[in-house]
Every structure is written in C-alpha cells, then in structure tokens.
C-alpha cells in the first residue's frame, strides 16, 4: 500500500472517530452510519497497529452486545494476530467465521456448502463478499496460512458444524417454540466453544 493510500485511510478513520465522539458527547452513540465498524479497519489499513488495537478494544468495551460486522471481525482478528495476542485473535476469528461463513474460506478460494440454510441478515450471505472485495487483500500469505490452519482445527470445525446444523434446522422449522429451542441449543454450544477458546 502506498503512503498516499495509508494517508487516505487515516483520514477516513479520523472522520469516523469525530462522528462517534460527537454522538458520545450527546450521551448516546446511535451510530446509524456504522462508523464503529470502520475505525479499527481504517487504522489497520493506515498502518497504525497500536491505534487499531485500541479501536477494537474500545468497541469491545463500548458495544459488548453488538452483533458486529464480518470485515470488522476479520480486521480485529488480524490486529490481534499481528500483536501476538493469540487468545484474542482466536476469539475474533470465531466471531468472523460465524458472522459470515463464506468470508474466511474465500481467502483461499474455497466455498462452504450452505444448501438449506436460513440467514438472518444480508451480512451473513455470500453476496456480501462482493461489497467488501476491496478489503479482502489485506491478510498476508502467513496470515492466510494461519487462518486456514485455524479453520481446519478441531475447535473451529466443531463450532462451524454446529452453526451449519443449527441454521439448516431453522430453515425447515416454522414453529416458534421449536425454533427457540434450536437457538437455545446453539447458544449453549457456542458458549461452550468460546469458553474453550478463552482458556
């Protein structure tokens, strides 16, 4: 990336921060424009690893219940990886994988079979990748190798298979109570797997 490109990403990050601070000063961050997802991404692209890390950590503290956005989680993963924060990198990896099941394998030109799956958001669908294509060149060859290795590891395979099974079951189940039971089982499995990643 050229110095001019890095400078442009720094300017975008600064603009997003100003908008968030303006909202924060009013007492509530509504952020309808999604700036909270952009700051860390733009700072990493600007080459400022330290500030990017601060931005992702700020998001974790400020928006603990936020469902997040796939590219945001991918860049959060890369930031933690580059800083050697392995537990944090793996947790964010899990979030990236579950936020869009197509995103990570796209990096090595593989596609996940999602036949018969229900998606709750267009961010979860394969078509989302076309909208974020410009951000998918950032991972280095070494990072792509690590991502592939983690993707195929036992904890992430179990998490992914649970996710796929859950959302295939939801696609076929119209009954509200049974859908709730399926989601409850998924949330319990997800919590167990995330707990293992934190150890």
Contact (Cβ atoms closer than 8 angstroms) between residue 198 and residue 91:
yes
For the chain, what are the domain ranges? 3-152
Indicate whether 30 pLDDT > 90: no
Tell me the C-alpha to C-alpha distance, in Å, between residue 29 and each of 45, 50, 58, 73, 75: 24, 24, 13, 20, 22
d(CA 75, CA 128): 16
Q: What is the pLDDT of residue 102?
A: 97
Q: What is the pLDDT of residue 113?
A: 94
Contact (Cβ atoms closer than 8 angstroms) between residue 28 and residue 62:
no
Query: What number is the average pLDDT over the span 123-150?
Result: 96
Q: What is the pLDDT of residue 58?
A: 94
3-state class (DSSP) for residue 107: coil
CA torsion 59-101-148-63 (nearest 10°) is 10
pLDDT digits (tens, 9 = 90+) for 174-191: 999 999 999 999 999 999
Tell me the percentage of the chain whose pLDDT exceeds 70.
100
Query: What number is the average pLDDT over the span 57-70?
Result: 91
Q: What is the pLDDT of residue 156?
A: 95
Confidence class for position 32, pLDDT limits 50, 70, 90: confident
Query: What number is the average pLDDT over the span 6-34?
Result: 92
């Amino acid at each position: 990336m050229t110095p001019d490109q890095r400078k442009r990403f720094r300017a975008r990050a600064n603009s997003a921060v100003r908008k968030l601070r303006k909202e924060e000063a009013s007492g509530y961050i509504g952020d309808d424009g999604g700036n909270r997802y952009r700051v860390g991404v733009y700072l990493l692209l600007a080459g400022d690893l330290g500030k990017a890390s601060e931005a992702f950590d700020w998001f974790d503290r400020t928006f603990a219940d936020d469902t997040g956005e796939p590219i945001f989680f991918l860049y959060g993963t890369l930031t933690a990886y580059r800083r050697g924060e392995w537990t944090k990198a793996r947790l964010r990896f899990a979030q990236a994988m579950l936020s869009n099941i197509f995103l990570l394998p796209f990096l090595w030109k593989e596609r996940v079979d999602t036949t018969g799956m229900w998606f709750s958001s267009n961010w979860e669908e394969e078509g989302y990748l076309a909208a974020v294509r410009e951000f998918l060149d950032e991972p280095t060859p070494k990072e792509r190798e690590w991502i592939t290795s983690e993707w195929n590891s036992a904890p992430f395979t179990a998490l992914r298979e649970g996710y796929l099974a859950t959302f295939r079951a939801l696609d076929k189940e119209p009954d509200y109570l049974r859908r709730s039971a399926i989601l409850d089982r998924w949330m319990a499995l997800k919590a167990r797997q995330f707990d293992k990643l934190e150890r």
